[in-house]
Chain A
Amino acid sequence: MTVENEIEIMGQRLNEKINNMFGRSLHIREVDAGSCNACEVEVTALSNPIYDMERFGVHIVASPRHADMLLVTGPVTRNMELALLKTYNATPSPKLVAAMGSCACNGGIFGDTYASGGGVDKFIPVDVYIPGCPPRPQAVIFGLMVAMDKFEQKIRKTEVKA
């Protein structure tokens, strides 16, 4: 058996283990890192009877110490930079990070300025990006499913040559 095969098998096992850990339920800590509150409104809508996130076993918790996943919104502002890092360090491993909204993905409309960090991935490693301004609640549910490996991502890099 070659080393590459072994690494592949190890990767599969690790994947199964992670799926077992996060497969049944997911506890999310929502971090507002300088967002305009539009994304927060959509996250609140996730727990209403129409979208009802709890039917997948997804809960919003009040402390990062109870959480498996951080749902970060906003282009990390200078004031929220330290708070985000502290929250990340307080979350027990293994942990997932989802960047929700265009601001969290790439800075969005705020861009990369002296007051705005321009994206969560410049500060902490991000597992899933959910673009949208703000993303629909369905898009957030889809993003969480992608993060939990229940669904495959639909979008791929497209290149057209003329």
Chain B
Amino acid sequence: MLEILKRRFRTGIVTTGYPAVPDIAPPGFRGKPELSGDRCTYCGDCVSACPPGVISLEKVNGEEKLTLSYCGCIFCGRCEEVCPYGAVKLTQEYELASKTKDDLQTIIRRKT
């Protein structure tokens, strides 16, 4: 009994104060992927590499449009691996909950 109590006090409080205290993901954590409009050349390597196929490249009215939806993203990091220009970066951001599907999109455009 005393042993158990002793151990209990030695352990202390383990509960995180998460919503009040911000919790930063450990280094190497694969979170929200971000597209960089300056570096991207719209080659389409990430589109063919994406396993769930959430990245799409469209060419409409002389405009190239690269869309990444976080909705089906499995955060595998393949897009970051295959991109020769380093235009896709996986950040440590993980608080992606959203009330609409529309907000879970990031789009970059370029005129051709």
Question: A: which residues have CB within 8 A of B?
Answer: 49-52, 55, 102-103, 105-109, 111, 121, 127-133, 135-136, 138-139, 141-143, 145-147, 151, 153-162
Contact = CB atoms under 8 A, between A and B. Distances in A.
A142 B97 CA distance: 7
Contacts of A109: 51-52, 72, 74
Contacts of B61: none
A40 to B, nearest CB: 17
Chain A's interface: helix, strand, loop or mixed, by majority? Answer: mixed
A142 B99 CA distance: 12
Contact of A138 (B23, B69, B73, B110): B23
Interface string B10-39: 000011101100010100000010010110
Given A50-B16, A121-B101, A157-B103, A105 B71 contact: yes
A102 B52 contact: yes
A146 B103 CA distance: 14
B98 A128 contact: yes
B72 A108 contact: yes
Nearest to B94: A139
B110 A155 contact: no
Contacts of B70: 131, 155
29 contacts: A50-B15, A50-B16, A51-B15, A52-B15, A102-B74, A105-B72, A106-B54, A107-B52, A108-B74, A129-B71, A129-B99, A131-B73, A131-B96, A131-B104, A133-B75, A138-B16, A138-B95, A143-B97, A146-B97, A147-B97, A153-B98, A154-B95, A157-B106, A157-B107, A160-B37, A160-B107, A160-B109, A162-B108, A162-B111
B105 interface: yes
